Structure 1
Amino acid sequence: MKRKLQIALATALTFGMSQVATTAFADNSALGVDPIFPASQIDTKTGYYDLKVEPGQEQNLEMTLMNDGDKPMLVHMSANPASTNDNGVIEYGKNKIKVDESMTANVGSMITVPKSVTIPAHGTIKVSAKLLVQSQRFNGIAVGGISFVTDPEAGKTQNSGVQIRNRYAYDMGVVLHESDDAVTPNLRMHQVQPATVNYHTAILARLQNDQPAFITDMKSHAVVYTAKDHKQVLSGDKKNQKVAPNSHFDYTMMMADGQKLQPGKYVADIDLTAKQGHWHFKQTFVVAADQARAMNQRNVTISHWACWQIALMILAVILLILLIIFLVRRDRKRTAELRRLQMSVSEVTNNEGNQN
């Protein structure tokens, strides 16, 4: 039962009222992590560390690591601040997202973990991480995570010839409180600009939560239109997004497949509603001619044939069809002529035979 609970926690995207995630990136994970809560744990029913701390406080965070596999498992560990990715999902593992400038309490810097540990096959080990709370007092909450990532396993080769190499990951959330004072999150919109996302054209709006509090269950409606005549360029809705405390992300608005971005002045209008508040942003941005050209060139859904190239190809196809018709007709005429000659020769031969 305890092992099943760990697997359930490992596949959950969010857990608990504060939306702290405990995630795994492989099904039927052989890796399990069981936190051993210290006396400073606020709620022992959560699947993550939710600690009441004081400035400068030092303590160990212990956890049990489990390996259900048949071979020893090498696990790499890291401590990281919580961040928000461009899909509106909170991440607690190691990533390339820059720490937001509003963050004054970086949990990743307060925790020291072993670089790697080895768990024996079908075994468990106890691991300790050192938490040293910063001396400067912080408001609200400080959020981060301890990440566990295994080396890729030598996988099995399927009938298709593709080799599957499993790599397991598990993130344990860490939430620190120094007071019970509630803090209200706050969204701000910074620059808006076009960009290429997965070889598709998109409009990105940088959103920032500059307060030490979560934003959860956020839904939004976004429209981009031309500033001159208010002609709508794109629109879209999103839901179930979350934003970590003191983090930023690029709110992504995708253009339709095959749609070209024209140079000019535009307005991005984004309306966002969450449990913690409502925000409405409007911002003008300009797309230069060379910028639009570059975006369109990189968009794989847009045909890059010029009009004269298309006309030339159509002409070539027509000429090819006419050539085929000509060759077919010529072949038919030659075949018919050959048959007539054969019939004539046959008649002459018959006549000579009758005269003899």
Structure 2
Amino acid sequence: MIKKIATTLTLLILSLISISSVYADDKLSSYSVSPQYSTHQSKGVENFFDIKWTPSSKENFSVKITNNTDEEQTYKIEVNKARTNKNGIVDYSDDTPEANEAKYKLTEMIDISKEVKVPANSSENVSGSLTFPKEDFNGLLMAGIHVSEKKTKDSESNVSNSVAYNIPFVIRGNEDKRPDPVLNLKKVTVEKFTSDTYSVDALLENKGPNLMKEVMFHSNVMNEQGQTVFSQESQLDITPETEFVYPVTLPETIKSGEYTLVLSVKRDDSNNWEFSKEFEITKQDEKNIKQVNPYKQSYLKTYGFVFAIVSIFLIAVVVYLLKNKK
């Protein structure tokens, strides 16, 4: 009897996995995007554009979009600045304009069609160009070619998991020496992070054209008595000339009061930053943090109870099988 139940459950799980896999593959294969490089693409670099700055020149490239469906499809093409998002991931989907103070805006240097129609079961090469200013450049610029299916009004009103493709676009300065990175802490606020958590958000700015990879963040939140209430460590990549938020997740037990965020940032032995900024958790913040998901504790209790029952059942099955074997 037990063997039959186990076999049935196994077959059910495998069938569900198979259905999910087919659905996912079908969604992902509805279209594909690949880069067609310029003549000055860096050797050995694949899957994204990597071009050295060449003053007063023009680079031609293209993006190949393949429509694998049986109907004509329209695709949107955007050139977006690369940004480190709140989850610590390099994001190419944010279409916010580049900062006015940026000397060179890669999103304005790249020219490509904003929309293209691709016939059924066909491919289309969308031509683009990159125009360099006449000056030399010391640093690194990052953007991304963001391609997505253009939705009709009817499809936009429905919830759907549409697939978007991002092709990073990296420009390396023609001067070998890179400028020293400059990192600033602009402000600290208490914000909602996810559906059931709040965080202390440190708004930082990477002012220079530097990509800082594998940067270590260590944060301490300290109370008025100078005691560390909680700590957090993370590692992330910081995109050039970017404002980004580093969130420090708040525990549900946090009380209202005055606090200090002490943030240590380490890129390498020669690039370290130490920041300290005071912030307040108000009575309303404390209330929001505790009530952000009033059902969370009941969910945890329910799942804990179910897990305990299942564990006891599995232990009983193992004991039963061992006894029968003996």
TM-score when scaled to structure 2? 0.71
What are the Cα deviations for residues 292-316 of structure 1, in whole angstroms up to 9, with x where unaligned?
Answer: 1332343353699xxxxxxxxxxxx
Distance verdict in 2 for CA 1:93–1:43, change over 3 Å? farther
Deviation at residue 121 of structure 1 after TM alignment: 2.0
Is it true that 1:134 corresponds to 2:148 in the alignment? no
| 1:176-325 equivalences in 2 (<5 Å) | 176-183=171-178, 184-198=180-194, 200-226=197-223, 228-239=224-235, 241-260=236-255, 262-264=256-258, 266-274=259-267, 278-287=271-280, 292-299=282-289, 301=291
Matched residue, 2:77: 77
Matched residue, 1:125: 124
- In 1, the alpha carbon distance for the partners of 2:164 and 2:54 equals 31
Gaps of 5+ in 1: 1-25, 157-162, 305-356
What are the Cα deviations for residues 234-265 of structure 1, in whole angstroms up to 9, with x where unaligned?
Answer: 321223x11111112111011112533x132x
Distance verdict in 2 for CA 1:104–1:300, change over 3 Å? farther
- In 1, the alpha carbon distance for the partners of 2:27 and 2:237 equals 24
What are the Cα deviations for residues 147-166 of structure 1, in whole angstroms up to 9, with x where unaligned?
Answer: 1011359999xxxxxx8734
Distance verdict in 2 for CA 1:198–1:71, change over 3 Å? same
- In 2, the alpha carbon distance for the partners of 1:172 and 1:88 equals 18
Percent of residue pairs identical: 20
Deviation at residue 188 of structure 1 after TM alignment: 2.5
Q: CA RMSD in A?
A: 3.0
- In 2, the alpha carbon distance for the partners of 1:72 and 1:144 equals 29
Aligned residue identity for 1:134: P
The answer as to whether partners of 2:137 and 2:175 remain within 8 angstroms in 1 is no
Distance verdict in 2 for CA 1:139–1:129, change over 3 Å? same
- Give the SS at the match of 2:291: coil
Distance verdict in 2 for CA 1:223–1:27, change over 3 Å? farther
The answer as to whether partners of 2:138 and 2:173 remain within 8 angstroms in 1 is yes
- In 1, the alpha carbon distance for the partners of 2:100 and 2:134 equals 19
Deviation at residue 107 of structure 1 after TM alignment: 0.8
Matched residue, 2:52: 52
Distance verdict in 2 for CA 1:178–1:201, change over 3 Å? closer
What are the Cα deviations for residues 24-65 of structure 1, in whole angstroms up to 9, with x where unaligned?
Answer: xx9634322222222121225421111123233223222221
Distance verdict in 2 for CA 1:274–1:29, change over 3 Å? farther
Is it true that 1:62 corresponds to 2:62 in the alignment? yes
The answer as to whether partners of 2:206 and 2:241 remain within 8 angstroms in 1 is yes
The answer as to whether partners of 2:211 and 2:237 remain within 8 angstroms in 1 is yes
- In 2, the alpha carbon distance for the partners of 1:113 and 1:282 equals 41
Aligned residue identity for 1:248: E
- In 2, the alpha carbon distance for the partners of 1:87 and 1:198 equals 10
Distance verdict in 2 for CA 1:294–1:135, change over 3 Å? farther
What are the Cα deviations for residues 162-220 of structure 1, in whole angstroms up to 9, with x where unaligned?
Answer: x8734121111111234141324343322222223336332111222222121112232
Distance verdict in 2 for CA 1:286–1:129, change over 3 Å? same
Deviation at residue 272 of structure 1 after TM alignment: 2.8
The answer as to whether partners of 1:84 and 1:91 remain within 8 angstroms in 2 is yes
Aligned residue identity for 2:61: L
- In 2, the alpha carbon distance for the partners of 1:276 and 1:213 equals 16
Deviation at residue 86 of structure 1 after TM alignment: 1.4
- Give the SS at the match of 1:185: coil
- In 1, the alpha carbon distance for the partners of 2:174 and 2:265 equals 29
Matched residue, 1:172: 167
- Give the SS at the match of 1:299: helix
Larger radius of gyration between Structure 1 and Structure 2: 1
Aligned residue identity for 2:168: G
How many residues get paired? 265
- Give the SS at the match of 2:202: strand
